[in-house]
Amino acid sequence: MSKYRDGRWWFIGTLAFALLLMLVPLPAVLEPFKPYWPALCLLYWTLESEDRVTLGMAFGVGLFADLFNGVLLGEQALRLCALVFIALRFRSRLRFFPMWQQTLAVLALLLNDRILLLVVRMLAGDAMPPASWWISPFVGAALWPFLTLLLDDLRARLRRQ
């Protein structure tokens, strides 16, 4: 019971940390390279544990993210929902991919997410963003293997204690 509760706090903690990381600024030069942390974190948990991440949860996390740094309420909720839905649908296959295939899949998911965001912003009447807009998904995908290894390792350590 307490182990389960620990696991849950660990889960919530990583999500909160991802939201915080999203808010932490980088130097102006590195700004376009910033990955979309909440998406990566949610993806990890979707692939890792079967019933923790649901669409409703993704929606809730997205609303929180919007509350903190969004410009439009519901924007990130929409994006995270779509992302988690696709990940949940292909979960069984994604899990058994070798790491490089998984990374490519994550890249596709993140690119899809950027396209969604672009559509939303264009509909809201914003200007077309510059080319550096498309760097972020690649950085996110490149970080994916390390992120999974790190989170797996931390989780294993926590379980052992």
Q: Which is nearer to another protein, 142 or 145 (CB)?
A: 142
CB of 108 to another protein, least distance (A): 17
User: What's the rounded Cα separation, in Å, for the pair 37 and 20?
Assistant: 9
* C-alpha–C-alpha distance, residues 36 and 50, integer Å: 22
User: Mapping DSSP to helix (H, G, I), strand (E, B) and coil, where does residue 42 land?
Assistant: helix
Least distance from C-beta 130 to another protein, angstroms? 5
CB of 123 to another protein, least distance (A): 9
C-beta of 135 vs 145, nearer to another protein? 135
User: What is the Cα Rg of the chain in Å?
Assistant: 16
Identity of the residue, 53 or 106, whose beta carbon is nearer to another protein in the bound complex: 53
Least separation in angstroms between residue 109's CB and another protein is: 15
Q: How many residues are present in the chain? A: 161
Q: Is 83 or 106 the residue whose CB approaches another protein more closely?
A: 83
The closest of 56, 27, 58 to 42, measured between CA atoms, is 58
Residue 34's region, left for phi above 0, alpha for psi from -120 to 50, else beta, is: beta
> Which residue number, 60 or 145, has a Cβ lying nearer to another protein?
60
Give counts: helices (H), strands (E), the chain. Answer: 7, 0
- The least distance separating another protein from the CB of residue 105, rounded to whole angstroms, comes to 16
**Secondary structure letter of residue 72 according to DSSP:** S
What is the rounded CA–CA span in Å between residue 105 and residue 123?
Answer: 27
**Interface residue list for another protein (CB under 8 A):** 20, 22-26, 28, 31-32, 34, 50-51, 55-56, 58-59, 62, 66-75, 77-78, 81-82, 85, 88-89, 91-93, 120, 124-130, 133, 136
